[in-house]
């Protein structure tokens, strides 16, 4: 929209008077008896009904810059809303309109963002600077326009709310990152020694309490081999992976476990460029070990030394110049990346939006290849802008292909660390909720956090980001975290570990029964892992519940433990792993294993899954324990009978009933037979003959048999 006037904005007389009065009150004797009104809205989280284009976001109306503006689409009504972070006693609202102003509008107040009261209303506004006295206590303030004065939309240079806060001390944003975030620059002495020290501690600490994050400032590092153990993350601090180059390796191997990589879980690498010493980097992992935003200037070997067993992993937004050697990896998912080539595949290799991916050929070789990813948005990440820490929040991409960073500056938004409450070990759940209520995002530093109340993410576009596999443990049977029916929440990079008292769920995204469309700004859940048992007794009815429509779940491992402490058919009881009630939910890289009943229950319409890996619970004591009415066994992935549209690509389920190898499972997948419900490239496998499947999906697909560990496959269903 062209600006209808370019006159310089003028300071409103009333606003100037308010500032002068505030200063005078500070100087007058006895002024401390009543707090002076202050500007509460600047830099606070803000949302709007719409925006005209990318250059006129809602945030421009609260940035303190009279040269930037929010403008809406050209329709009535429209609104803009600011979250003050905590209830405040309000005194004044100043609206600095661009020439495209509102003739009729209301100023509305709310304590919860849901119920609104009118503090001011007019139908005869004339634009310019409107200064309005308001009274009341509110956390949320909204300007609700009902009639435009021009053919354009509503356009505000500044939306200022004045008053006094009164909810006790305000929590600070920003600060240091705590003792277990280890930051290097190229001049740091003995980097290799520090890397080795942490690796010695974490190499085999599968269920230990140690948590570490290595951060490398932009620059070049020579001669390093960063071996990455349990609960250890390594990341570059540039805006692009190529800003931080290691002439060396970032290595995961399986020497600690006799060359078997099937338990190399819970670690990550992100945002680095590597020049491997011998031309090929080794990343021999299984579940919950993402390789994101990496540039390997050579090859990548996904198998342990000696090519022992490995059980699947995940690559996203990465560039591997040479060949990715899959070797012994049973399954793998690669998304929105570029590779030189791909070698080998065992059972289930899935690619979406990958330049250089092998052609579709399932089941021989077992490649499922989608040209693009339907919807994606990369994981938020910490970086340095000069000497200032910020979190970059990448933009949504539709039908994505290739990396998000290879062609110019990445698209998205930068948030200063001052907009985050930095959570450190010992922080209480009440403090975390206070920070969220105050309008801060959360940055969890490495550690284990017991929460005795549910963490409630109620504000749109909140970022909850973990470093070093930060871990939440719900106490007293609470749900660890719940997200409200709001747009654009980003949850990323943390683990939720069930506590010994049964929780109804461990993570819930959205309330039950919501009908809100979030397609324009969906919530994303990325590298958020769920564990029930293993580190000790844990119980939950269901691991993760997705109620909000349009949510993207991008790489999760939801695991009822089959080994470790606190493991047994009833000891770490958890009947359901992943339940989807929302419509238009997309899962990319879905790993769910070992639940007592259904591992996945999909009740929402138009759901899509790109890559699914599952193992049924090993420890079922006998056939009766998993009997589902007249059906033998609970499906690994069940689409509700009421669903009319659903689609999945590259889905596998394996059984290893080692307590009772005579158990038979009627099918791995269950779905209504309708034209809109489609599956592509399915398989079931009996591992060593410990239990068998009768069919792949419903009554389609040949049974498994014997001890040969040969998949039974279905290329297309129905």
Q: Kind and range of the H or E element at 25?
A: helix 13-27
Separation CA 108–CA 89 (nearest Å): 14
With the C-alpha atoms ordered 494, 582, 391, 113, is the resulting torsion angle positive or negative? negative
d(CA 519, CA 583): 10
Report helix, strand or coil for 164. strand
With beta carbons less than 8 A apart as the criterion, state whether 627 and 665 touch: no
Provide the b/e sequence for 581-620 (b: ≥16 CB within 10 Å).
bbbbbbbbbbbbbbbbbbbbbbbbbbbbbbbbbbbbbbbb
Nearest alpha carbon to residue 715 among 672, 674, 678: 678
Question: What is 631-697 written as a DSSP string?
Answer: EES--SEEE-TT---EEEEEEEEEE---S-TT-EEEEEEE----TTEEEEEEEEEESTTSSEEEEEE
DSSP state of 436: H
Active-site pick, 270, 615, 647, 694 = 615
The answer for residues whose C-beta is within 8 angstroms of residue 684's C-beta and 6 or more apart is 652, 653, 654, 655, 667, 668, 693, 695, 696, 701, 704, 711, 712
Name residues whose C-beta falls within 8 Å of residue 24's C-beta, 6 or more positions apart in sequence: none
Compute the half-sphere exposure of residue 135: CA atoms within 13 Å on the CB side of its CA: 0
- What angle is formed at CA 53 by the lines to CA 51 and CA 56, rounded to 5 degrees? 70
* Token pair listed for 473: 């443990």
Residue 20: its H or E element = helix 13-27
Three-class SS of residue 33?
helix
Q: How many residues does the chain have?
A: 718
The per-residue DSSP string of 317-333 comes to S-EEEEEEE-TTBSEEE
What is d(CA 435, CA 281) in angstroms, rounded to the nearest whole number?
41
Query: Is 615 among the catalytic positions?
Result: yes
Residue entry with tokens 């969906």: 522
Residues sharing a CB contact under 8 Å with residue 217, sequence separation 6 or more, in sequence order: 183, 184, 185, 186, 237, 244, 384
Write phi, then psi, for 344 (nearest 5 degrees): 75, 160
Cα–Cα distance measured from residue 461 to residue 45, given in angstroms and rounded to the nearest whole number: 8
- For 624, the 3-state DSSP assignment is helix
* C-alpha 654, offset from chain centre: 27
> Which residues are catalytic, by number?
615
């Amino acid at each position: 929209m062209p600006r209808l006037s370019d006159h310089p904005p003028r300071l409103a007389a009333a606003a100037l008077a308010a500032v002068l009065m505030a200063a005078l009150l500070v100087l007058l004797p006895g002024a401390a008896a009543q707090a002076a009104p202050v500007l509460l809205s600047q830099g606070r989280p803000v949302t709007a009904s719409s925006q005209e284009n990318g250059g006129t976001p809602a945030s421009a109306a609260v940035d303190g810059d009279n040269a930037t503006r929010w403008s809406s689409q050209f329709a009535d009504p429209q609104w803009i809303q600011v979250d003050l972070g905590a209830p405040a006693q309000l005194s004044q609202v100043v609206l600095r309109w661009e020439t495209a102003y509102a003739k009729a509008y209301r100023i509305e107040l709310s304590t919860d963002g849901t119920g609104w009261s009118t503090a001011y209303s007019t139908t005869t506004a004339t634009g310019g600077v409107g200064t309005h006295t308001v009274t009341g206590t509110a956390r949320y303030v909204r300007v609700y326009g009902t009639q435009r004065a021009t053919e354009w939309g509503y356009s505000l240079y500044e939306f200022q709310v004045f008053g006094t806060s009164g909810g006790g001390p305000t929590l600070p944003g920003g600060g240091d990152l705590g003792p277990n975030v280890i930051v290097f620059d190229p001049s740091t002495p003995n980097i290799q020694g520090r890397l080795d020290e942490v690796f010695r501690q974490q190499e085999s600490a599968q269920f230990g309490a140690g948590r570490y994050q290595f951060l490398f400032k932009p620059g070049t590092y020579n001669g390093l081999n960063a071996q990455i153990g349990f609960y250890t993350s390594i990341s570059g601090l540039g805006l692009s992976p190529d800003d931080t180059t290691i002439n060396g390796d970032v290595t995961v191997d399986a020497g600690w476990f006799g060359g078997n990589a099937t338990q190399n879980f819970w670690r990550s690498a992100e945002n680095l460029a590597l020049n491997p010493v011998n031309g090929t980097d080794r990343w021999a992992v299984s579940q919950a070990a993402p390789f994101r935003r990496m540039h390997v200037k050579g090859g990548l070997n996904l198998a342990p030394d000696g090519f022992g067993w490995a059980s699947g992993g995940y690559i996203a937004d990465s560039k591997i110049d040479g060949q990715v050697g899959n070797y012994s990896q049973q399954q793998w998912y690669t998304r929105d990346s570029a590779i030189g080539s791909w070698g080998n595949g065992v059972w289930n290799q899935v690619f979406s939006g990958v330049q250089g991916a092998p052609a579709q050929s399932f089941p021989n070789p077992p490649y499922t290849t989608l040209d693009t990813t339907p919807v994606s948005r990369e994981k938020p990440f910490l970086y340095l802008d000069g000497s200032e820490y910020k979190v970059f929040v990448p933009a949504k991409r539709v039908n994505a292909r290739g990396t998000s960073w290879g062609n110019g500056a990445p698209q998205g938004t930068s948030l200063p660390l001052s907009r985050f409450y930095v959570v450190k070990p010992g922080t209480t759940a009440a403090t975390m909720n206070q920070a969220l209520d105050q309008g801060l995002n959360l940055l969890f530093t490495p550690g284990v956090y017991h929460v005795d109340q549910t963490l409630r993410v109620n504000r749109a576009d909140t970022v909850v980001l973990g470093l070093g596999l930060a871990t939440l443990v719900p106490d007293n049977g609470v749900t660890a975290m719940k997200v409200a029916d709001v747009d654009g929440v980003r949850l990323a990079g943390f683990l939720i570990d069930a506590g010994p008292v049964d929780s109804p769920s461990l993570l819930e995204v959205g309330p039950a029964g919501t009908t809100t469309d979030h397609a324009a700004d969906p919530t994303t859940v990325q590298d958020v892992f769920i564990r029930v048992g293993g580190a000790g007794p844990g119980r939950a009815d269901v691991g993760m519940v997705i109620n909000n429509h349009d949510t993207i779940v991008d790489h999760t491992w939801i695991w009822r433990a089959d080994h470790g402490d606190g493991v047994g058919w009833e000891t770490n009881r958890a009947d359901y792993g992943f339940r989807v009630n929302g419509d238009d939910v997309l899962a990319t890289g879905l790993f769910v294993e070992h639940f007592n009943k259904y591992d996945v229950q999909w009740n929402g319409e138009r759901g899509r899954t790109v890559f699914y890996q599952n193992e049924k619970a090993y420890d079922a004591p006998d056939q009766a324990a998993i009997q589902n009415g007249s059906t033998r066994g609970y499906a690994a992935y069940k689409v509700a009978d009421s669903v009319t549209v659903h689609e999945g690509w590259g889905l596998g389920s394996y059984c290893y009933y080692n307590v009772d190898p005579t158990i038979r499972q009627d099918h791995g997948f269950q779905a209504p037979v309708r034209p809109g419900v489609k599956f592509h490239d399915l398989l079931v496998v009996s591992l060593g003959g410990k239990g068998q499947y009768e069919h792949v999906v419903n009554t389609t697909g040949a049974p498994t048999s014997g001890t040969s560990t040969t998949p039974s496959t279905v290329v297309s269903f129905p």
